[in-house]
Amino acid sequence: MRILAVPLLAAALGVSLGAGCGPDAPGPSAPGGAVDLKQVMAQRGLTDADVIAAAKTYTPTGKHDEYVILASGGHGGNLVAIGVPSMRILKYVAVFGPEPWQGYGYGGLGDKLLYEDSKQGGKQITWGDVHHPNLSETNGEYDGEFIFVNDKANARIAVVDLKDFTTKQIIANRLVMSDHGGAFVTPNTEYVVETSQYPAPLGGAYAPLSEYKDKYRGAATFWKFDRSRGRIDEAASFAIELPPYSQDLADAGKFDSDGWVFIGSWNTEMSAGTEGKDKPPMESGASQNDMDYLHIIDWKKAEQLVQAGKTTDINGMRVLPLATAAAEGVLTFVGEPKSPHGCDVTPDGKAIVVGGKLDTHATVFEFAKVKELIAKKDFEGRDAYGVPILNFQKALRGQQEIGLGPLHTVFDEKGNAYTSVFLDSTVVKWNYNQIGQPTEALPVHYNIGHITAAEGDSASPDGRYVVAMNKMAQDRHLGVGPLLPQNFQLIDITGPKMELIYDLPIPLGEPHYAQMIKADKLKTIQVYTPAGTDPYTDEVSPHAVAAGGERIERNGNKVDVYMSVIRSHFTPDTIEVNQGDLVTFHLTNLEQAFDQTHGFAVDMYNLNVSLEPGKYERVSFVADRPGVFPLYCTEFCSALHLEMAGYLLVKPRA
């Protein structure tokens, strides 16, 4: 770290030091409100390096960040949007769990996603374990339109629209019982790939653990993304049956390797734990083999076989059987060392980097070699399920000595790779075109998991910033009880050496993965236009009202309230119903002004929606509790916000 003399530093930062500045003469504030930098540094115990780091990250009021990180919220079940370099948290986006501020899960339109579409086996599930959010891509570049999110715990995939940062679809995978390697996209977002983690009989069937090898399976699901609708098309999707090897992270090839998907695995031992007997627990049972198998999938070939009808139907999903995938060259293996974890394709698409959790190397496969070996059917053998295996050495570009426990790798624009090293708690910089050259290690705090870089998984990374996503914070932040935040550390990678410049506590479940996109690629809307737009159809709802069209329609015990919402009143504001009526509020926020959001809550009925400008919402419920229930606006919207209220009067049954 360069140490600058204070006056020089001040000049570099453009800060006036004031007239009387000196070691024993802390001067007064300079004219124009500038402060004495040296005095502030002394008072706060800051070094020159601290101040440089601050200047690199500080983003003055009203100024915006250059990048946005979209991070998983772990088992908080949501997404986090964070500005870079300021590391200011911008938003949590509700995905798999209810969230009252966004009015998600409290009676509004989003309830269908959260409580109906996302059911697994008829069970309502209101949390998720988000691991790997992936941005939609066009020609291998983040296009800023969508982000896809997986739920490891319940094998679900969600589609979040970045136009309004709203979850638009949740799909329950009816084949597998958990996923981990999701939600990775192919270079034009043709497919969103989801791979199972813990093997189980496909389709949710029962089989005892003694039948693990025969009946338990993994699968890679290829969800077809319909860009024009902004939704996954379940009917056009398919899956490939895989051996019960605990498939892990995945990445799609690009350029030379376009049409291929690579998936790590870590349990070729097929350990199912103790099985209640004297077998070793999975921890050691699954760590016996020196090598597991990198799964190499030719998805374009798989697509052809699916179209030719070579699939079987499991729970309504077209599944390409394992034997077919193995025989037809859809699925090939190559060994990957020591409990492999991360699997990352280089920006040029020419190599695949694998980190072994118990290894000291990053292993780099050369895609051209892999492709040639497969074309020549140059196999070293087959696994117990008939899947061809390539020779490890023949497929290799090389192995880079990294340190203990390499996990994930991201890239810059100069051929550098940045690998997170779990056991060493470092970020290691190396060059994937010059394997064997010296590396640079930067200590981070502590036990880094994932890592993200500016546009770092795209075909053209930006360099600039890397963020170490550390799993622990320990002494880094003030104490808040035994459940500690995680710690994101921002690293400046523009200089000759990596520099750690900021710590951000993440007060959520462990964010497993994130992508960092150039902020100007996000084309978010400010209002729903025209007023009355249903955010789930992007069209004006047939139930929206214009001013003057408000009314209450009664049909037997059905009551439909067509209500407009505008500063600072609800029209109508008095709604009388009978106990037992099925009441539906059709709410139209007539505002078209930026940030003019209202809320709509009915006290004691667990109903609460957010009404961003122009938004249509619908709230349906049975008025089963008689009494007088205030309804009010939950979003502070004007000087007369408190007056934005009304009454729901539920007359008791005679």
- Of ligand CUA, ligand RUQ, none, which one sits near residue 464, judging by CB under 5 to 8 A according to partner kind? none
Q: Which is nearer to ligand RUQ, 318 or 408 (CB)?
A: 408
Strands (E), 260-405: 260-265, 291-298, 312-314, 317-320, 331-337, 340-345, 351-356, 361-366, 381-382, 388-390, 396-401
Q: 568 is in the binding site of which of ligand RUQ, ligand CUA, none (Cβ under 5 to 8 A by kind)?
A: ligand CUA
357 binds ligand RUQ, rule: CB under 6 A:
no
DSSP state, residue 114:
I
Binding mask 402-431 for ligand CUA (x = CB under 6 A): ------------------------------
Least distance from ligand RUQ to the Cβ atom of residue 154, Å = 15
Radius of gyration of the CA atoms of the chain, in A? 28
641 binds ligand CUA (CB under 6 A): yes
What's the min distance (Å) between Cβ of 106 and ligand CUA? 17
- Distance (Å, whole) CA 544 – CA 109: 13
Q: 226: which 2 tokens?
A: 């319909």
Q: Counting contacts by CB under 6 A, is residue 131 touching ligand RUQ?
A: yes
Which residue lies nearer to ligand CUA by CB, 155 or 637?
637
Task: Assess whether the previous peptide bond of 568 is cis (omega < 30° from 0).
Answer: yes
The size of the interface with ligand RUQ (CB under 6 A), counted in residues, is 11
Q: What backbone phi and psi angles, to 5 degrees, belong to 297?
A: -115, 125
Q: Does 101 bind ligand CUA (CB under 6 A)?
A: no
| Nearer CB in complex with ligand CUA: 91/641 | 641
Closest to 173 (Cα-Cα) out of 185, 181, 165:
181
Task: Tell me which residue of 258, 186, 261, 251 sits closest to 224, measured CA to CA.
Answer: 186
CA dihedral 14, 18, 19, 20 (to 10 degrees): -130
Paired residues of 158 in beta bridges: 149, 170
DSSP string, 282-316: HHHHTT--SEEEEEEEEHHHHHHHHHTT--EEETT
CA distances from 178 to 72, 120, 196, 231, 352 (A): 17, 11, 6, 22, 25
Q: Which is nearer to ligand RUQ, 469 or 637 (CB)?
A: 469
Residues paired with 429 in a beta bridge: 418, 440
Show the binding pattern over residues 493-532: x = contacts ligand RUQ (CB under 6 A), - = does not.
Answer: -------------------xx-------------------
Residues 566-625 that bind ligand CUA (CB under 6 A): 568, 598
* Shortest CB 303 distance to ligand RUQ, Å: 26
> What's the min distance (Å) between Cβ of 639 and ligand CUA?
10
Distance, C-alpha 525 to centroid of its chain: 21
Q: Does 636 bind ligand CUA (CB under 6 A)?
A: yes
Query: Is 91 among the residues that bind ligand CUA (CB under 6 A)?
Result: no
| Interaction residues for ligand RUQ, span 242-261 (CB under 6 A) | 249
Q: What is the total count of residues that contact ligand CUA (CB under 6 A)? A: 8
Q: How far apart are CA 389 and CA 373, in angstroms?
A: 10
**Residue 145 or 635 having the CB closest to ligand CUA:** 635
| 644 touching ligand CUA, by CB under 6 A | yes
The reply to whether 92 sits near ligand RUQ by the rule CB under 6 A is: no
Residue 161 contacts residue 190 (beta carbons within 8 Å): no
Binding site for ligand RUQ (CB under 6 A): 131-132, 180, 249, 341, 407-408, 449-450, 512-513
Binding site for ligand CUA (CB under 6 A): 568, 598, 633, 635-637, 641, 644
